[in-house]
Amino acid sequence: MASDSDRELEELRKEVERLRIENASLKRQNFGDDKADTIGFSEITENRSESGSRGSGDVDNTKLELDEYLRYGRQLIVPEIGLRGQLRLKKAKILVVGAGGLGSSALAYLAGAGVGTIGIVDDDTVESSNLQRQIIHNTPRVDWPKCHSAAKFIRDLNPKVNTVTYKTRLTGDNAFDIFTGYDLVLDCTDTPSTRYLINDTAVLLNIPLVSASALKTEGQLLVLNYLSGPCYRCLFPIPPPPDSVLSCGDGGILGPVVGIMGVLQSIEAIKVITGAYEFSKYTPSMTLFSAYSAPQWRYIRMRGKKDTCAVCGSNPSITRQGIEFGEYSYEEFCGRASQVYLKPEERVTVETYSKERDMPHTLIDVRESSQFDICSLPGSISKLVMLPPAAGASPQTPLLLSLRSSRNVGSWYWDTNAV
């Protein structure tokens, strides 16, 4: 009596045979010229080395090999994908900027889905603090360049995928050279200046963009510069105040949250590549996720392109030449977080405090309570705790602040002459 696994294998073989027949029929209809090229995706007739240089390749993107039918069999039988969709994925070139938390899950599922060529841009190295959420890296690859670690993961997962690594920071000097030739870009970064650079480059090269962000327990997802939809500048013409922008290092991040947002990026990338939005009315929207809210998901309908947009509007002021020649500064546009610079006499070194901590003083820890609970100096008071009546500063009882960084001073800084 045949087991369930035997029956499942036989059904899969039948499905593979059906798909092979369909493939032959599509080839007779000249599918490669008549259909695939009409969506504007370039042929992948080359491989690139890990340094980003071009090399020769012999990948046939007009058909699937037998092992590819077996590898992708479960998604081939999904009506929204099918053979046409799988061939589009095999032809596609997708660039992922950032191989951190967002990029990790996005890269994993894009590679698993069979995207033909994946480019990876990241100048950072793997640290042990990354591994809580950046799941394509591992302990043996700590200190590796992230782009190389990501490429190693992809090769181990799916050797059918070509990887191109760019161990460099994305700048106006190199963005257009890197982006050229890709069909889709994923923004998996976490700095406003880079987000605007990615958006502007994608718009000026007419490349769709899938953007996501995540912080603490919340995330946001956008498909930009696609069909009738807006670009990032249409939605956010003015960047957020620099002091309001937190990184994962400052604000914290729950690993599964950034993982979910990266997975959603891969889903939207697959939908764009396979033409899911080309056969139905496309409504641009923003997806918001909040892990600790009920409901967890919200969707905000977005307007289309903004005619006054500085990069995709009818009279744009941002051009490729201006970006490449450094006429437009993204750092100046987004600004820098203000720093509170303390005078030398207002600072207390660790060594000095260690020697004098037995003297009368009040020590206030201005970090968030979650950080205070992890570790704190003996005798310190959390900023969220009511100060005792005798805690005021005086020559006999100095008032000291314990900080994680100078950004934590904020409103806690005061003119010491007024105390």
Q: What is the domain-level CATH number for residue 286?
A: 3.40.50.720
Is residue 192 in a domain?
yes
User: Does the pLDDT of residue 347 top 80, yes or no?
Assistant: no
Average per-residue pLDDT in the chain?
81
State whether 330 and 351 are in the same domain.
no
Q: Region 276-283: what's the mean pLDDT?
A: 83
Share of the chain above pLDDT 90, in %: 57
263 and 147 fall within a common domain: yes
Residues 263 and 309 grouped into a single domain: yes
In a domain, 39, yes or no: no
Given 311, 334, 357, the domain boundary residue is 334
- Does a structural domain hold residue 105? yes
Tally of domains within the chain = 2
Q: Is the pLDDT of residue 56 over 50?
A: no
Residue 392 has pLDDT above 70, yes or no: no
In a domain, 284, yes or no: yes
Selected residue with higher pLDDT from 373 and 201: 201
CB–CB of 223/210 below 8 Å? Answer: yes
pLDDT band at residue 273 using 50, 70 and 90 as cut-offs: very high
- Specify whether 360 is located in the same domain as 230: no
- The answer to whether 144 touches 173, Cβ cutoff 8 Å, is no
Residues 301, 364, single domain; the answer is no
Q: Are residues 368 and 325 in the same domain?
A: no
pLDDT of residue 275: 94
- Whether 313 and 175 have beta carbons less than 8 Å apart is answered as no
Q: Are residues 207 and 306 in the same domain?
A: yes
Higher pLDDT, 120 or 406: 120
- Same domain, residue pair 323 and 348: no
Of the residues 269, 302, 334, the one at which a domain ends: 334
Residue 28 lies in a domain: no
Domain end among 334, 362, 378? 334
Examine the pLDDT at 119 and tell me if it is beyond 60. yes
Q: Is the pLDDT of residue 411 over 80?
A: no
Q: Which residues contact 2 (CB under 8 A, 6 or more apart)?
A: 10
Name the residue range of residue 260's domain: 92-334
Q: In terms of Cα–Cα distance, which of 227, 198, 200, 229 is closest to 212?
A: 198
pLDDT band at 23 (very low <50, low <70, confident <90, very high): low
**Residues 304 and 194 occupy one common structural domain:** yes
Q: What pLDDT sits at residue 360? A: 72
Position 53 in a domain: no
Query: Both 366 and 323 in a single domain?
Result: no
Summarize the confidence of residues 266-280 as an average pLDDT. 92
pLDDT band at 351 (very low <50, low <70, confident <90, very high): confident
| Of 208-222, 223-237, 268-282, 326-340, minimum mean pLDDT range | 326-340
The answer to whether position 76 is within a domain reads no
Kindly report, residue by residue over 69-94, the tens digit of the pLDDT: 999 999 999 999 999 999 999 999 99
Residue 291 and residue 389 share a domain: no
> Distance between CA atoms of 309 and 38, rounded to whole angstroms?
28
pLDDT of residue 417: 35
Q: Are residues 326 and 408 in the same domain?
A: no
In a domain, 27, yes or no: no
Does the pLDDT of residue 230 top 70, yes or no?
A: yes
